[in-house]
Amino acid sequence: MLISLHKQATTTPKIRAAIQASIEPAWKVAERYGISEQTVWKWRSRDSVDDRSHTPHRLQTTLTPAQEAVAVSLRKTLLLPLDDLLSVVREFLNPHVSRSGLDRCLRRHGAGNLRALRPVVPRPAHKPFKAYEPGYLHVDVKYLPQMADEDRRRYLFVAIDRATRWVFVRIYPAKTAANARRFLRDLERAAPMKVTRVLTDNGKEFTDRLFGLRKRAATGNHDFDRLCADLGIEHRLAPPMHPQTNGMVERFNGRIEDVLQSYHFNSGEDLEQTILRYVRLYNGQLPQSVLKGQTPIDALKDWQKQRPELCKRSLAPTVGLA
């Protein structure tokens, strides 16, 4: 059994019990155990051999119970910080109260933690992406690190289908409108579904829309817009300064970044082949929780069975890289 003794105790529970059972004079018992006679009389007057609490029965405070109630009520109602509350209490209740005394008062009444007193504001629920049929793709561009055998960095163009999470990528040496058009044309040829919409940010490679000091709506004459019109694809733009609209492709770019941070690449070709292998793995072998454990290819096959008119051709094992 664990026994908690006061750090300055001169007796043990066994000695205290012996003192209580003894009928010898107090001076004799005190001499035997090397204690004072007052200690002997103290333990003989008690029924227990345990130490009593050393907490004062009366707290040393300058605030009356009524003043404490007012101070705690102000704290809970106005949510005042300790220093502000101290000024109010000194001005209107008790000019002699100390900061530490007021803090102890608040703690005794469960009002010491100001953050716990504030109402809990529920976080806005995450809105899932609206359900769409295959053919609505999010498009973005990601910077790639420059390799030792390269004289400049390259850019990864990424497209991901909203319904099936199927991914298509290409790497180009520059982030230009010409390469954006080239990517869209390659995407439209390689996609197993009919591409009906693409969502991009407001980069110059995708649109001539301007915002900030020079606000201007997209004219539709940008090279990327014209190719979309030729292919019968609706081009949608994310709202300015609102990247979460294109969050689906941003999250996939985060996966690519994890790959880049996990490997050491010997050359630009090594980096490119690693990314392509990962995309092949992602499309065909990595189950997605949002797809209820299916891979993007499995989801595409299900859509092909249910809505064959949405697909252009049967799925090949290497779909997404052709």
pLDDT, tens digit (0-9, with 9 covering 90-100), for 67-85: 999 999 999 999 999 999 9
pLDDT-above-70 percentage for the chain? 88
Mean pLDDT of 107-131: 80
Using alpha carbons, list the distances in angstroms from residue 214 to 47, 208, 210, 217.
Answer: 88, 12, 6, 10
Q: What is the pLDDT of residue 69?
A: 94
Residue 24 scores a pLDDT above 70: yes
pLDDT category of residue 318 using cuts at 50, 70 and 90: very low
Look-up: residue for tokens 């509350």?
Answer: 85
In the chain, which residue ranges form alpha helices assigned H by DSSP? Answer: 13-21, 26-33, 37-44, 65-78, 82-92, 99-108, 114-117, 177-190, 223-231, 247-262, 268-285, 296-306
Going by pLDDT thresholds of 50, 70 and 90, the confidence category of residue 59 is low
Give pLDDT, residue 68.
93
Is the pLDDT at 210 greater than 80? The verdict is no
How much is the pLDDT for 311? Answer: 82
pLDDT recorded at residue 126:
60
Question: In terms of DSSP bridges, do strands 136-143 and 197-200 run parallel, antiparallel, or are they unpaired?
Answer: parallel
State the helix-helix crossing angle for 99-108 and 82-92, rounded to 10 degrees.
110
Instruction: Say if residues 230 and 248 touch (Cβ distance below 8 Å).
Output: no
pLDDT digits (tens, 9 = 90+) for 253-310: 899 999 888 888 889 999 999 999 999 999 999 898 888 899 999 999 999 898 888 8
Separation of alpha carbons 286 and 135, rounded Å:
21
Closest CA to 161 of 152, 169, 149: 169
How far is residue 246's CA from residue 235's CA, in Å, rounded to a whole number?
13
pTM of the model: 0.59
268 contact partners, CB below 8 Å, separation of at least 6 = 147, 149, 150, 154
User: Can you give the pLDDT at residue 315?
Assistant: 62
